[in-house]
Amino acid sequence: MHPRIRWGIAATGNIANVFARELALLPDHEVVAVGSRNLDRARAFAQEWGVRRAYGSYSEVADDPEVDVLYIATPHSDHLATARHAIESGTAVLCEKALTVNAHEARELVALARERQVFLMEAMWMRCNPLHLRLRELLAGGALGEPRSLNATLGFLADYDPTGRLFAPDLAGGALLDVGVYPVSLAHHLFGAPATVQATATLTSSGVDGTVGMLLGYDTGAVATLTGSLTGPLPNAAYVSGTEGWVELPPDFQAVDRLLVHRPGKDPEEYAVELLGVGYTYEAAEVARCLRAGLLESPLVSWADSIAVMEVLDAVRAQIGVRYPNDAAYDDLATPASDASDSQR
Amino acid sequence: MHPRIRWGIAATGNIANVFARELALLPDHEVVAVGSRNLDRARAFAQEWGVRRAYGSYSEVADDPEVDVLYIATPHSDHLATARHAIESGTAVLCEKALTVNAHEARELVALARERQVFLMEAMWMRCNPLHLRLRELLAGGALGEPRSLNATLGFLADYDPTGRLFAPDLAGGALLDVGVYPVSLAHHLFGAPATVQATATLTSSGVDGTVGMLLGYDTGAVATLTGSLTGPLPNAAYVSGTEGWVELPPDFQAVDRLLVHRPGKDPEEYAVELLGVGYTYEAAEVARCLRAGLLESPLVSWADSIAVMEVLDAVRAQIGVRYPNDAAYDDLATPASDASDSQR
């Protein structure tokens, strides 16, 4: 392992630019290669961020011998193919959320990473935010008593382009995989796997979910009410409650820099941090820590975590009737899962 | 109609005391009679609030010739019987929420009020709050664009008494009818009747819902995520969103004295009022207005509104498996309604 972490970046969209900007805040990280299906775009990105090599494909970045880890910022529909190629080439992978399009793909990728002994992590940066870690400690320490509920929303009004990555079924668009994955991952971070999953959604004319509402039930008795939307702004806050109080994660909850612990009849207790950048820095630092320690997965966003989240997303999609071309490879995704459509506890 | 509105009060619990205190803030209202199954309690209440006559039953209050309107503050399981007696005696009724235990009872009561031409209103005071009326105007006027979502929670940690009104199935206890009815009524106030109802809950050892989560879907494409709890405090705020922004109703949303209209990239816009009392005053004033105008129902909490809310509560209860003795009178409540258990849109 080189003393600096040398990144390759696959794709040059908005999130790739944000990630490059955040990496620039870290002294021991550098981007050494970037790839796009459009070589001109890769060159423009390379010039913008001082990246040495630009490629006209994602696979060439993964194959670049100087690249320690490939950051995959392509549309969801491409994650499996690009990550698979990198892992087969022995290149570590940080892959944007949702990790894949469905849980089958996630399990396939995880099996490959395990077999090839290559690092793989879903870029669920929220879980590396120091206050999200603090929140889990508070819950585990009984600061709220017994867990009762989670309420979280994440949404914005996106320009409607039925062929763009947000709305095209071919690119596994829709609110669920783009923004809904955050409240679902938060619910998993705090409460684990749900016993029941119920969902309702409004579909866009392109056939993906514009707004999705989810209701998760847990064996502990906790319930989670979650909303994601690409067709309207939402408060983007999260509230987790227990028998003795609740924690408020102000907007935007996935990048929170303060937590408020509310207890009836008492002044709120605040935990605040000064974040480095928006918070992708903590994810990059976690990748560096894992690579240096020779880990194959991060305990903050474990393989099991990512698969469990994808299983919830699959159950939601089965109920709201959103199908992607990638799903066609798996017979059981043709019909709703029986446990997902069971609306009783 | 007497120039002052002369109230009778059935039951002497906490909410009856709160209501009496609020009536005392209004110059043109007085309480002239109170009844309890326990005459001593009625006398103590009468002494506390300067009420002329105390009775050892609810029916005697309804029959008191000086009573213009009976406020029913008994447990839910009793609402139908006490309200029916009053309406049959020709006495107007303001009956605590939930109006009845199930929609059958609500329809029965409404049919009786219509037949006897007697005023009947569910004491859903939230709907008379000036800011809840303002909120509906804002939505109707397109201030948020197209409706997208409602997120609301209401809960507190109640002392667990399996024989008390909050937790006893005999008294139609549980989070749904006690606190969950507020977010459900708010959803109806803003979005009308839902196309789909999904729910999950944790039951107490007494067999009622301690915490209930609900997911409502609407033909407009809006979704509502609602939580009620008697087994833990919740944030008790509500957020209603549309394509262009969202309105925050700070805690406690049912008694809100300010609204914040948020639009992306702009400072929040605030609407505030100085409430008279906690807000039951507006409900009492609405009853007075209706009685003086000779109305049989209030447009703010119409009969159709109350029945529609009870239908949602019935659908939720069918899914979470909470049954009350009152339900036994109606065959179809023995099994879940087929449309309620349909988890697909």
d(CA A71, CA A112): 17
- Show residues of chain A in contact with B214, CB under 8 Å: 215, 225
Do the Cβ atoms of A229 and B149 come within 8 Å? Answer: yes
Q: Which of B176, B209, B212, B215 to substitute to test the interface with A, most A CBs within 10 Å?
A: B215
Where along chain B do the CATH 3.30.360.10 domains lie? 128-278+309-330
Strands laid side by side in the A209-217 sheet? A196-203, A209-217, A223-229, A147-155, A238-242, A245-249, A258-262, A269-272
For the cut 50, the answer to whether the pLDDT of residue B187 exceeds it is: yes
Give the CA angle between residues B79, B80, B85 to the nearest 5°. Answer: 100
d(CA B230, CA B149): 24
| pLDDT at site A1 | 58
Where along chain A do the CATH 3.40.50.720 domains lie? 5-126+280-301
- Show residues of chain B in contact with A160, CB under 8 Å: none
Do the Cβ atoms of A201 and B345 come within 8 Å? Answer: yes
The DSSP bridge pattern shows strands A269-272 and B53-55 to be: unpaired
| pLDDT at site A332 | 80
d(CA B185, CA B306): 8
The tens digit of pLDDT for each residue in A279-332 reads 999 999 999 999 999 999 999 999 999 999 999 999 999 999 999 999 999 978
Mean pLDDT of all residues in B305-333:
95
A218: amino acid identity, one letter: Y
Which residue in A198, A233, A262 is closest to B215 by CB distance? A198
Domain B5-126+280-301 is classified in which CATH homologous superfamily? NAD(P)-binding Rossmann-like Domain (3.40.50.720)
- CB under 8 Å to B38, separation ≥6 — which residues? B56
Q: Rg for chain B (alpha carbons), in Å?
A: 20
Residue pair A326/A80 in contact by the 8 Å Cβ criterion: yes
Do the Cβ atoms of A149 and B211 come within 8 Å? Answer: yes
Do the Cβ atoms of A229 and B246 come within 8 Å? Answer: no
DSSP codes joined into one string, A8-51: EEE--SHHHHHHHHHHTT-TTEEEEEEE-SSHHHHHHHHHHHT-
- CB under 8 Å to B301, separation ≥6 — which residues? B121, B122, B124, B127, B128, B286
Q: How far apart, in Å, do the first and last CA atoms of chain A sit? A: 49
Q: How many CB atoms are closer than 10 A to CB A345?
A: 18
* pLDDT range class, residue A337, cuts 50, 70, 90: very low
Do the Cβ atoms of A248 and B235 come within 8 Å? Answer: yes
Mean pLDDT of all residues in B7-17:
98
* pLDDT range class, residue B28, cuts 50, 70, 90: very high
- Residue A250 DSSP symbol: P
d(CA A49, CA B67): 80
- Show residues of chain B in contact with A341, CB under 8 Å: 343-344
A130: amino acid identity, one letter: P
Do the Cβ atoms of A149 and B227 come within 8 Å? Answer: yes
Residue pair B242/A232 in contact by the 8 Å Cβ criterion: yes
B39: amino acid identity, one letter: L
d(CA B156, CA B176): 13
Domain B128-278+309-330 is classified in which CATH homologous superfamily? Dihydrodipicolinate Reductase; domain 2 (3.30.360.10)
| pLDDT at site B2 | 66
- CB under 8 Å to A201, separation ≥6 — which residues? A175, A176, A209, A210, A211, A212, A213, A316, A320, A322, B217, B223, B345
B274 exposure class (CB count in 10 Å sphere: 0-12, 13-18, 19+): exposed
Residue pair A185/A311 in contact by the 8 Å Cβ criterion: no
The beta-strand segments (E) located in chain A are 5-10, 29-35, 53-55, 69-72, 92-96, 120-123, 147-155, 196-203, 209-217, 223-229, 238-242, 245-249, 258-262, 269-272
The alpha carbon of residue A110 is apart from the nearest alpha carbon of chain B, in Å, by 31
Do the Cβ atoms of B233 and A262 come within 8 Å? Answer: yes
3-state secondary structure at position B53: strand
Residue pair A243/A148 in contact by the 8 Å Cβ criterion: yes
The tens digit of pLDDT for each residue in A107-152 reads 999 999 999 999 999 999 999 999 999 999 999 999 999 999 999 9
| pLDDT at site B331 | 79
DSSP codes joined into one string, A291-313: HHHT-SS-SSS-HHHHHHHHHHH
The tens digit of pLDDT for each residue in A218-253 reads 999 999 999 999 999 999 999 999 999 999 999 999
Mean pLDDT of all residues in A9-33:
97
For the cut 50, the answer to whether the pLDDT of residue B196 exceeds it is: yes
3-state secondary structure at position A92: strand
Do the Cβ atoms of B201 and A345 come within 8 Å? Answer: yes
The tens digit of pLDDT for each residue in B260-311 reads 999 999 999 999 999 999 999 999 999 999 999 999 999 999 999 999 999 9
Which residue in B149, B232, B345 is closest to A234 by CB distance? B149
The alpha carbon of residue B242 is apart from the nearest alpha carbon of chain A, in Å, by 6
Mean pLDDT of all residues in A90-94:
98
The tens digit of pLDDT for each residue in B46-57 reads 999 999 999 999
Strands laid side by side in the B120-123 sheet? B53-55, B29-35, B5-10, B69-72, B92-96, B120-123
- CB under 8 Å to A180, separation ≥6 — which residues? A154, A209, A212, A214, A226, A227, A228, A313, A316
Mean pLDDT for chain B? 95
| pLDDT at site B332 | 80
| pLDDT at site B339 | 42
For the cut 70, the answer to whether the pLDDT of residue B335 exceeds it is: no
d(CA B18, CA B35): 16
